[in-house]
Amino acid sequence: MELTAQAIADHLNGTVIGNPEAKVSTVARIEQGKSGSLCFLANPKYENYLYTTKASVVLVNRSLIPTQPVEATMVQVDDAYQAIASLLELFNTMKDARRRGRSWRASIAWSAKCKKDSWVGAGATVGKRSVIGEGAQIHPQVFIGDYVTIGENSVIFPGVRIYNGCKIGSNCIIHANVVIGSDGFGFAPTPDGSYKKIPQTGNVVIEDDVEIGAGTTIDRATMGSTIIRKGVKLDNLIQIAHNVEIGENTVIAALAGIAGSAKVGRNCQIGGQVGIAGHITIADNTKIGAQAGIMSTVKREGEVLLGSPAIDAREYMKAYAIFKKLHKQQ
C-alpha cells in the first residue's frame, strides 16, 4: 500500500509542509526512518531525530516550530499521537481485508448462527445457540461455548476460550489465549480444614469497543455477571476475578490483578502489577502507579496513588524521600 503526503493530510485534516507527492509504503520509528517510510513526532524528547531522519514523511504537532532545516516532508496535525493511531488503523484495514464464510474444518453447532460477512476459521468450535455477529472474525482454534454472543465486527484471535453463556459486544478485539468465563476462585472452608467448591453460575459480559490483551483471564460471576464496560482496554496477562466490574474507558496495564467483587470506576488508569483487593470500590478517574496495592475503597475521584498499601502520590514521595535515607542514619 502506498500513500502520498497529501493523501495522508487529507485523511487527517492536516497541512503539508514540503512535497505533497512524497510517497510512503511503511511506518517506522522516527530514529529508524528510511526513504519511503512514515514516522511521527509527538514527544519533544525525540525532536533531534526530526532533523536527521531519512523518512519521507513525518507527522508533527501544529505547535512544533522546527529549530533546524527538515529534509522530510512534514504533515502538521492537531495531535500527532492520535494521528498515527488513525493511520496505523488505515494501514491495517487496507492490508488485512476481512474474510468471510466458514472453514470446512470448523465445528459449528447446527443451532448456532453465523451472520452476514462473518468468518470462522479452521479448528474453531462454536457451540449450540451461539451467535456470531455480522462481520465478526473468529480465528482458527478458538473455542466458543454454548449460548455465547459475539457482537458485530469483533475479532477473536487464535486460542481464545469463551465459556458458556458469555456475551461479547461489538467492535471488540480479544487477543490470543484469553480465557473468558472460567470459574471464579470460590471455595468454602469446611470443619475438617478442606475446601468445598462454590459453583460459579454467572457469566461474563463484555460491552462494545473493548480490547483484551493476550493471556488475560476474566472469571465468570458466582451469581450475576462479571462486567467489562464499554471502551475498556486491558493489557496482557491480567487477572479479573468473579463479579468484578470495570468502568467505561478504564485502562489497565499488564500483570495487574483484581480480586472478586471489586468495582473499578470510569476513566481510571491502572499501572502494571497493581493488586486490588476484593469487595472494594475505586472512584472514577483514579490513577494507580505500577506495583501499588489497593487494600481499601478509594472514595475521592481523581486521586493519584502509589505504594503498597497505596497512599496519595505526593505523600508517598515525601515518605520516600525520608525512608530512602534511613540507612545513612545508622
pLDDT digits (tens, 9 = 90+) for 259-313: 999 999 999 999 999 999 999 999 999 999 999 999 999 999 999 999 999 999 9
- 114/129 Cα distance (integer angstroms): 10
Task: Give the pLDDT confidence of 135-162 residue by residue, as tens digits.
Answer: 999 999 999 999 999 999 999 999 999 9
- Three-state SS string across 34-103, please? CCCEEEEECCHHHHHHHCCCCCCEEEEECCCCCCCCCCCEEEEECCHHHHHHHHHHHHHHHHCCCCCEEC
Looking at CATH, the fold of the domain delimited by 3-95 is given as 3.40.1390
State the pLDDT at residue 183: 97
Looking at CATH, the fold of the domain delimited by 101-318 is given as UDP N-Acetylglucosamine Acyltransferase; domain 1 (2.160.10)
175 is catalytic: no
What pTM was estimated for this model as a whole?
0.86
Locate CATH 2.160.10.10 in the chain.
Answer: 101-318
Locate CATH 3.40.1390.10 in the chain.
Answer: 3-95
Poorest-pLDDT segment among 25-29, 146-150, 225-229: 25-29
Residue 260: CB partners within 8 Å, gap ≥ 6? 184, 185, 186, 219, 222, 241, 242, 243, 244, 278, 279
Report the percentage of the chain scoring pLDDT > 90: 92
DSSP assignment letter at 270: E
Residue of 11, 242, 279, 327 marked active site: 242
What is the rounded average pLDDT of the residues 121-134?
Answer: 98
